[in-house]
Structure 1
Amino acid sequence: MNEQANAPKGIAFNLESHIEYAAGAVVSKTLIKKEIGNITLFAFDQGQGLSEHTAPFDAVVHILDGKAEITIGGQLQTVNTGEMLIMPANISHALQATERFKMLLVMIRGE
């Protein structure tokens, strides 16, 4: 489920409560979508994930709730609430929810 909904501009809001979990699903909500990049919220129910893929640009993942198993270039790591990592461009990566989690994904297109 992908929901196009820009973030409220000029008003503070809580990222974690701005998206809800859905049973057996991955929910995404685009906060900003511009030619130069995107900012997207995700909520992964337990057992859900994103299969291995690559992206042409670095991407920043910030875990807002729960914990994610993220594999980058074949290396598995657990990323917990409050932690973030940078997924490097052109390196395969995948995400798996062994428990449900929410994350903010920031991708900026560039060199």
Structure 2
Amino acid sequence: MKTADLLSNIEYNEKRPAIQVMLDTDAGKEIRIAFKEGQVMKEHKTPFPIVVQIVEGSIDFGVEGQMHQLKKGGLIALEGHVPHDLKATSDSIVRLSLNKADKAERVENVARH
């Protein structure tokens, strides 16, 4: 058994979204992304399907050029290879569920650029 708390020990990065792997299991990875208002993750694609949940705050979530405003409690699922981007419209906590074969390092690289 593994446990984690998405709302404990949150550390923001002043320059870019802060990425932290919360759980790494046989089934997949759960990642917390802490955004300060105005921070972005530029358009990118994932090789596998993902699920994104807004735990706190609000995010403008672009999918192939169409903007979706997601608030606390909102969920969005994407198949692999779909272009998307994120911009925090307030300080936000995002849960990203990744396929086991995907890598947290890929997400960290997106946050750096």
| TM-score bracket, shorter-length normalisation | 0.7 to 0.9
- Between the aligned residues of both structures, percent identity stands at 27
Question: Which whole-Å deviations, capped at 9, do the CAs of 1:14-71 have from their partners, x for residues lacking one?
Answer: 3223423343431111123468642110100111110001111111001110000000
Q: Which one has the bigger strand percentage? A: 1
Match of 1:77 among 68, 85, 94: 68
Alpha-carbon RMSD: 2.3
1:109 deviates by 4.8
Corresponding residue number in structure 2 for 1:4: none
Q: Structure 1, unaligned stretches of length 5 or more?
A: 1-7
Name the residue aligned to 1:3: none
User: What does 1:1-111 align with in structure 2 at a 5 Å threshold?
Assistant: 9=2, 11=3, 13-33=4-24, 37-109=28-100
Q: Which has the larger radius of gyration?
A: 1
SS at match of 1:16: coil
CA contact (8 A) 1:19 1:42 kept: no
Aligned length: 101
Distance 2:62 2:11 in 1: 24
Shift in Å at residue 100 of structure 1? 1.5
Q: Which amino acid aligns with 1:72?
A: V
* TM-score when normalising by structure 2: 0.76
Determine the C-alpha separation between the residues in 2 that align with 1:17 and 1:78: 25
Instruction: In structure 1, give the amino acid aligned to 2:6.
Output: L
Structure richer in helix, relative to its length: 2
